[in-house]
Structure 1
Amino acid sequence: MSSVNRLQEAITSIASRKEEMFALLQELISYPTVSPPARNSDGAQTFLTGELQEMGFEIDRFEVYPGDDNVVGRLRGMSPSNANSLIINGHMDVAEVGDDSGWTYPPFSLTRGEDRRLYGRGVADMKGGLAASLFAIKMLREHGIELQGDLIFQSVIGEEAGEAGTLAAIERGYTADYAVVVDSSDLHMQGQGGVITGWITIESPTTLHDGMRSKTIHAGGAVRGASAIEKMMKIIAALQDLERDWAVMKSYPGFPAGSNTINPAVIEGGRHAAFIADRCALWITVHFYPNESYEQIIREVEDHIQRAAAADIWLRDHSPVFRWGGRSMIEERGEIFPSLELDQSHPAFAMLQSAYEGQLQKVPVVDMSPSVTDVGWFAHAGIPAVLFGPGELEHAHAVDESIDPDQLVQFAQVMARFIAEWCNTAKNAKE
């Protein structure tokens, strides 16, 4: 039987044996890998490790945080130096549930509703993408589809809490000619903007009693002191000026005007009503466009704030201090999601589009995600990538999270086509 016929049989089997895929998803859903609190993915990652090993993957399992390991499987190609390699990436953690009394169906059991949709925490974001990708690979393996290039499957932790599971895998040395992050995109092929959080802190070297306030603000007081809280008001005003300038001067196709926001999300300051506030910290969240890097954004914000501080008599001698990003919202109260400017001229993107059109008989939607995912870490590392996965964003994180089972089948079929073609194409081959 020709390889083309074997591939078609594998694709057909995805539909005819879809209940096996749903059973795989059921097993993944049964593990309550909610984040926060996180540190609870051991059982789920052990199960997934077993699935990968059965398909012949070499396993690298390594701790990111206690109780939260990354699992990376490598299926070595027949001619890896000559053929394209591929990373399939997804996160094992799911959004927190909290009080589940509002759920119609149990969150950690896969349930088919009267509307035929599948319900359970993580079906859309994003255990559905993990299960469908695994099943696509399984069908390729069972039908004897050999791959010339390496296939790397990454099940990472921490995406929901801004934890750097994907970054940890990249830092461990995993790279490929292309990466597909199979997070929720409703089968759209997407790039994304980026997000970074930062702390701006103003601190006085001296702590003054409340009774000294008149000496710091009235004529003849002769004490150059200040309330850190009041000085932070100038910083917030400067951030608002910068945000307005960005809204006027910057734009990017696929985003509503003014999507690049600077949100003063949390403020902490002062120690007691009997003292002048000697410290104030502001936690901001900054959204930026796909053609911008978080390093660039940091420079722009810091430069603007330092200029504003230099115009203030007290702040020019007590400059704001910045702390940007972090590897965990849980551990460090900070996160980074780099942006991804989608390269639509890349041959892998063209192959993915072709696989989609060949399987679904329609042109895929190519646009920008209104959210952020781990896909930006690949772009930041110089690995071409795309966000492409099943599940509608409006159902992710929601009570009664659900997904269309037909979309899971369609996604698995498209991925099977794409994997078989991309990993059997010579490196640097012209389209």
Structure 2
Amino acid sequence: MKEINTFIDQHQDDLIELVRTLVRFPTVSPPARNTAVAQQFVASYLQELGYATDMWDVYPGDPNVVGVKKGDSAYRSILLNGHIDVAEVGDDSGWTYPSFDVTRVGDKLYGRGTADMKGGLAAALFALKALQACGVDVPGEIIFESVIGEEAGEAGTYDCIERGYRADLAIVPDTSNLRIEGQGGVITGWIVVKSPQTFHDGMRAKMIHAGGSVHGASAIEKMMVLLQGLQSLERHWAVTKSYPGFAPGSNTINPAVIEGGRHAAFVADECRLWVTVHFYPNESYEGVVEEIERHLHGVWMGDPWLRDHPPHYIWGGKSMIEERGEIFPALELQQEHPGIQLLATIHEKVTGEQASFGMSPTVTDAGWLGRAGMATALYGPGLLKNAHAVDEHCELQEIINIAKVLAQTILQWCNQKRDPA
């Protein structure tokens, strides 16, 4: 254990340079479709460490990379997962330091992605390098995933799962300030109200009173009926649902975007509402969607026009860019799982501080891994308030500590035999 820690301490300049190299790739999402060169670098890095690599396009110009060190199936396996894309920068005139480079100021590293999450990605890669350089025996399988699309709700991690990558323990070194965390979930959806007929604005007078004889309605106004129903459900959730680690009312239904109508000379014949739904770790997105639709069914059944013209729904999607929809499954942290307990123990030995467990206030790809049946923890460097921010930065010591903890966790976990089936 000391040998690995000593290697990382003595080669921290190499670790900083690895962070710098990753940050210099401007893998901003959106617009995305720009990660191929960065991912080729990651693939080459893994190959130099003796890992077999699998690289494929999730979208043109945006490939996933998976590196695998095959192991003895009698021993436990581990999976490290991180995303190569970063938040957009836009006008960087407000930055003190270059946004796509790393500037060290004291114990802080500045640059886009240092906190979210190229600092964590570099720490994970460097942990693999430390294990290889120290020549330690790791009999269990190690899987390393560098995925695309997390920033824009593009399920690069889901693609890895569909491709068959699984392990007994998964760690996502995304922004958590060295806390071991689970998370809530998010799903977006479109609620659509559409009239089978289109009416001229001059017909509105015949549609709004008993003598008008025209059975029509504005889709925008009918969407307001559904919106009130969503607000009622959100208030109901706030007082009937809770989860440790979340403030009351964290499970929200946000009416984020509304689109409707075609021209001032027409009565609106279609209206679309884009909602973002946050739910708790002990809930599935399928269950939450079913609750919303069941509640709205009662709402529109009480409206004479909507009863004949009910709304339809489009939930989720694999890309906010391509499909204008996303899903981030929740992750209920299995705190008593032996892999999570081992991670906590090693954290305490490396940092000298007791491990802290909690719930992330944001969402990450960790939920996909947990949903696939893997014991999963979010555990990475950086403060969330610094992610996506002007002058994004991360404490160097946190990145160093993550590299040490991951290397030690891999070594000890993958040297344990699996429990008999």
1:85 aligns with 2:98: no
Matched residue type, 1:96: E
Post-superposition offset of 1:219: 2.0
CA distance in 2, matches of 1:354, 1:287: 32
CA distance in 2, matches of 1:382, 1:200: 31
1:56 equivalent among 45, 50, 54? 50
1:3-42 mapped onto 2 (5 Å cutoff): 7-42=1-36
CA distance in 1, matches of 2:44, 2:264: 59
Computed over aligned residues only, the root mean square deviation of the Cα atoms, in angstroms, reads 1.0
Matched residue type, 1:334: G
Contact kept in structure 1, 2:107 and 2:397, CA below 8 Å = no
CA distance in 1, matches of 2:100, 2:205: 60
Could you report, residue by residue, the CA deviation over 1:9-57 in whole angstroms, capped at 9, with x for unpaired residues? Answer: 1111101110011111111111000001100001110111110000010
CA distance in 2, matches of 1:218, 1:136: 72
CA distance in 2, matches of 1:99, 1:241: 40
1:97 alignment partner in structure 2: 89
2:243 alignment partner in structure 1: 252
Gap runs ≥5 in structure 1: 1-6
Post-superposition offset of 1:357: 1.2
CA distance in 2, matches of 1:58, 1:216: 67
1:359 alignment partner in structure 2: 350
SS of 1:385's equivalent in the other structure is strand
SS of 1:52's equivalent in the other structure is helix
1:95-174 mapped onto 2 (5 Å cutoff): 95-113=87-105, 115-174=106-165
1:47 alignment partner in structure 2: 41
Post-superposition offset of 1:429: 7.6
Q: TM-score, normalised by structure 1?
A: 0.96
Could you report, residue by residue, the CA deviation over 1:79-129 in whole angstroms, capped at 9, with x for unpaired residues? Answer: 2x111111100000000010010001001111112x431111001100001
Distance change (3 Å), C-alpha of 1:167 and 1:274 = same
CA distance in 1, matches of 2:420, 2:97: 49
1:312 aligns with 2:303: yes
CA distance in 1, matches of 2:406, 2:227: 47
Post-superposition offset of 1:218: 1.5
CA distance in 1, matches of 2:338, 2:306: 52
Gap runs ≥5 in structure 2: none
Matched residue type, 1:378: L
CA distance in 1, matches of 2:148, 2:175: 16
CA distance in 1, matches of 2:70, 2:61: 28
CA distance in 2, matches of 1:429, 1:147: 20
Matched residue type, 2:42: L
1:72 alignment partner in structure 2: 66
Matched residue type, 2:220: I
Post-superposition offset of 1:400: 0.6
1:369 aligns with 2:363: no
Matched residue type, 1:360: T
Moved over 2 A (4+): none
SS of 1:425's equivalent in the other structure is coil
Post-superposition offset of 1:306: 1.2
1:3 alignment partner in structure 2: none
1:140-219 mapped onto 2 (5 Å cutoff): 140-219=131-210
Contact kept in structure 1, 2:30 and 2:87, CA below 8 Å = yes
Post-superposition offset of 1:428: 2.1
Q: TM-score, normalised by structure 2?
A: 0.99
Could you report, residue by residue, the CA deviation over 1:272-328 in whole angstroms, capped at 9, with x for unpaired residues? Answer: 111110000000000000000000000000111111000000001101000001111
Matched residue type, 1:56: G
